[in-house]
Amino acid sequence: MPLPASSASRPPNEYDQFADIYAVWTDTAASARANLAFYLDAYAAAEGPVVELGVGDGRVAVPAAASGQHITGVDLSMAMLERCRRRAAEAGVLDRLTLLHADFRQFQLDTPAALIALPYHSLGHVTAIEDKRAVLTHAFSQLRPGGRFVFDDFLMRPALVTHMRGVQRRAQYQTTAGTDVRLWVTSIVDEAEQSIRVVTWEEERLGADWSTGRHYRYLTLSWLTPSQARGLLTDAGFLVDACYGDFAGTPFAESTAHEQVWVARRPA
């Protein structure tokens, strides 16, 4: 079923509210651990400017910069960009990172990119089908001939839907102030609309007990089916070089894939 064709997209402040737990969020996500080496290899193989959309706190971009590359990172959350800037400064690579506060559909590059990447299901933050189309069309316009566009998206199998709908203790960690915290998550998944509303909350340890007061945060996501993703790439003018079913580069097969990882290019 196609996604709704409205112009609605992610509210710009969701990640501003999420930024302070983002490192815990990614450190405890299997897909984030799996995709790091894949994207670092893709960045290293690019012969020219590399752009990361949804750069977040620099989880991928900063290690890439540490290996000697210059990365342009684009994000709509000022809080996440500030964390990325801080991370890059601590790693001593701030001079190899250019950060743009911009929408995926509107960023402008001084030089066409050799590679534009959109890691960690981040196309899902643009929820309407026409807005996703606009992201891919704009990425195409910002690539040089022969340049590549790489992104991954959820593969929403029934088992994953069931898992997301459950209540999970995502992490238990200690803040810099020494407070013990539990991070919980569940998701409201609408299969007909292909939408996900992630709900997280934290509980703090108060002596021997855990607090009952909860601080809720929300993320709005969506997904594409593989056929929708291929159609949007083709409509934007891309040639699809590969679709993988995981970050190890296994060719996509509907029965065995865990992800959909797309590698496309602008014709030379």
Instruction: Report the percentage of the chain scoring pLDDT > 90.
Output: 87
Fold of 14-154+224-265: Rossmann fold (3.40.50)
Q: How far apart are CA 264 and CA 237, in angstroms?
A: 10
Joined together, the tokens standing for residue 238 give: 């891309």
pLDDT attached to residue 11 = 46
Average pLDDT, the chain: 93
pLDDT attached to residue 206 = 82
pLDDT(3) > 60: no
pLDDT in tens, 142-173: 999 999 999 999 999 999 999 999 999 999 99
List Cβ neighbours of 21 (8 Å cut-off, separation of 6 or more). 183, 200, 202, 217
Joined together, the tokens standing for residue 237 give: 């003018």
pLDDT in tens, 32-59: 989 999 999 999 999 999 999 999 999 9
3-state secondary structure 68-114: CCCEEEEECCHHHHHHHHHHHHHHCCHHHEEEEECCCCCCCCCCCEE
Q: In terms of DSSP bridges, do strands 180-190 and 113-118 run parallel, antiparallel, or are they unpaired?
A: unpaired
Provide the sign of the torsion angle of the four alpha carbons 250, 263, 125, 176, taken in this order: positive
Give the three-state DSSP class for 5.
coil
pLDDT attached to residue 6 = 37
pLDDT in tens, 100-134: 999 999 999 999 999 999 999 999 999 999 999 99
